[in-house]
Structure 1
Amino acid sequence: LHSTSHHTLDYTAREDRAKGTESLLKHYIAVFDPTSGDLKVIEARKMVVRGLVRSRKAGDAEFAGLTERENRTEARDALGQAFGTKKAKRAIDSKKENAIDQGRSQDGTPRKLGAADLALMDSIKDSTANMATRDELQAVLDQARPVPKGNYQAEDVEDVYNPREIIGTEVLNAIPIFDWQEKTKKGEPIEVVSRFVANRVSRVAAGENASLRLKILRYYLWLIIFYNSARMGKERGTKSIAQRDKLREQMTPAPEVVIENIRRKFSDNGVMRKLHMDLLFTHCCVFASIIDSFDVDTYDIKEDLKLEQKQINQYFQETGARTRQSKKGDTTIHFAKLSIPLIFPRLRAHRQR
């Protein structure tokens, strides 16, 4: 049996044929006519009735009053409900449940919100009034960056990072450089474990403001030794720093005040966590920028810290530098330049779906 009398559903009824011993069981109903006094006994067959939504094309009247955007949204949601995954269907249902339906009046204009809707909108407005703006979030992010303390409003790039403030005047004055000065005067080689230092110490010693720049270069060297002497920590992503006696031996002739300064600044209870390592890397980037007049070939520092090119670029960018590359024959040279205005990585905006 088939029925199409309903305006949206088609009904189909089929006899349910029993299996096994129940196939011999039959049901009957008696129909009594009080007018004629007749009694009829009729077999009642067991039927299974199913309803199916009739497919049809939506008429123009159903889309009347809807904008083109609303039509696209309705069509997309319908496709999602028909062919989407369970997760997609839940998202569509959640969006509909949480939507504030303003509705429309008979003339097609938006209906005014009721008292309950207005109260809800006011509560949302009050709860979001104190939310941070994107610029405020960016400012907080800038302050929390693992970078040396700097004057980010400086007009000259030389004034952004002051080594006396970053290292500390007492520590900086305690750094010995006489042995390096004597060797460079005599033309003797200075053997160190840092490519960056080895390739620059002679030039720095013979240049302007040599004393301060040599102290910065030696502090950089001790940071490299401090980091490379650490071993894998017990926790994932951490490093355990070397014992004091071993540090004194490896960092000779570093004074005790310098060793303790580095230990306190770049570790906590003998453990270097990611924050400490990031801070050490950005310190090295800043010192390298000062030594190379704020335009650094990043290869040597990348090798000193055992980082990938993408990583060292990111650390230079965290200090406000711009990175670039240039070709020299078959070789690609990567540079990081610190200039005004500084450009820091921004908050990423998630793409709307």
Structure 2
Amino acid sequence: DLEKREKLAGILSYITCLLKFMSIPSHSIDKLVTANTEKYKESSTIPGIILIKFMKMFADAQKSMLSREKSQLLISYILVLTLFVDEFDSDPSDIAKDLKMTPASLKPYYMELGCGFRKSCVILSLPLKFPTLRLPSQGGRRNRR
């Protein structure tokens, strides 16, 4: 139906903006933070209000660049949106090409999102199953006073 197609078109457009933002070199992000943002908004292919939102969400304010953590967050946002578009049953090979990564290198990101794997597909099923944290055992430690 028309409403569903419009919603999917909006999500795909947003994914495209996220991918464009991710491809901006670090030195350009630094210029965006320090320079007149209005000037850049006029020349950018990313709409101004969305660019400002991405800067707040993903650019590290202290370093004026995409930190490793923020870059991982950006990738996770993109993967969640692609899962939504594919009705939570997605083939990661296409988005891996767009992210300039391999499908295997995306596996940890999908696991953090609670996804399962079936052949070449990633599935987000309910209830969510997240990887368990392995805490060091304290069996060998004793309090000595």
Equivalence map 1:236-275=2 (5 Å)? 241=29, 243-244=31-32, 245=39, 249-250=43-44, 252=45, 254-269=46-61, 270-275=64-69
Question: Aligned to 2:9, which of 214, 217, 224?
Answer: 214
The one-letter code of the counterpart of 1:317 is M
Equivalence map 1:1-353=2 (5 Å)? 209-231=4-26, 241=29, 243-244=31-32, 245=39, 249-250=43-44, 252=45, 254-269=46-61, 270-325=64-119, 334-349=120-135
Q: 1:214-262 CA deviation, whole Å, 9 max, x = no partner?
A: 111111111111111223x7xxxxxx62644556534x2x432111011
Q: 1:295-339 CA deviation, whole Å, 9 max, x = no partner?
A: 1110111111122333211111111111232xxxxxxxx211111
Q: TM-score, normalised by structure 2?
A: 0.77
Work out which structure has the larger RCO, using CA pairs closer than 8 Å and 6 or more positions apart in sequence: 2
Summarize the Cα distance change of 1:338–1:241 in structure 2 as closer, same or farther, 3 Å threshold: same
Q: TM-score, normalised by structure 1?
A: 0.34
Which of the two has greater helix per residue?
A: 2
TM-superposed CA distance for 1:348, in Å, is 2.3
Where structure 1 has 5 or more consecutive residues not aligned to the other structure, the ranges are 1-205, 234-239, 326-333
The one-letter code of the counterpart of 1:241 is I
The one-letter code of the counterpart of 2:29 is I
Q: Is the 8 A contact 2:41 2:47 kept in 1?
A: no
TM-superposed CA distance for 1:289, in Å, is 0.4
Which of the two has greater strand per residue?
A: 1
Q: 1:59-110 CA deviation, whole Å, 9 max, x = no partner?
A: xxxxxxxxxxxxxxxxxxxxxxxxxxxxxxxxxxxxxxxxxxxxxxxxxxxx
Q: 1:44-67 CA deviation, whole Å, 9 max, x = no partner?
A: xxxxxxxxxxxxxxxxxxxxxxxx
Distance (Å, rounded) in 2 between the aligned partners of 1:316 and 1:208: 28
The one-letter code of the counterpart of 2:115 is A
Where structure 2 has 5 or more consecutive residues not aligned to the other structure, the ranges are 33-38, 141-145
Q: Is the 8 A contact 1:226 1:247 kept in 2?
A: no
Q: Is the 8 A contact 2:41 2:48 kept in 1?
A: no
Q: Is the 8 A contact 2:93 2:102 kept in 1?
A: no
Count of residues in correspondence between the two structures: 131
TM-superposed CA distance for 1:287, in Å, is 0.3
Alpha-carbon RMSD? 2.6
Q: 1:171-211 CA deviation, whole Å, 9 max, x = no partner?
A: xxxxxxxxxxxxxxxxxxxxxxxxxxxxxxxxxxx876112
Distance (Å, rounded) in 2 between the aligned partners of 1:265 and 1:212: 22
Q: Is the 8 A contact 2:114 2:130 kept in 1?
A: yes
Larger Rg: 1
Distance (Å, rounded) in 1 between the aligned partners of 2:122 and 2:110: 7
Where does residue 143 of structure 2 map in the other structure?
A: none
Q: Is the 8 A contact 1:226 1:241 kept in 2?
A: no
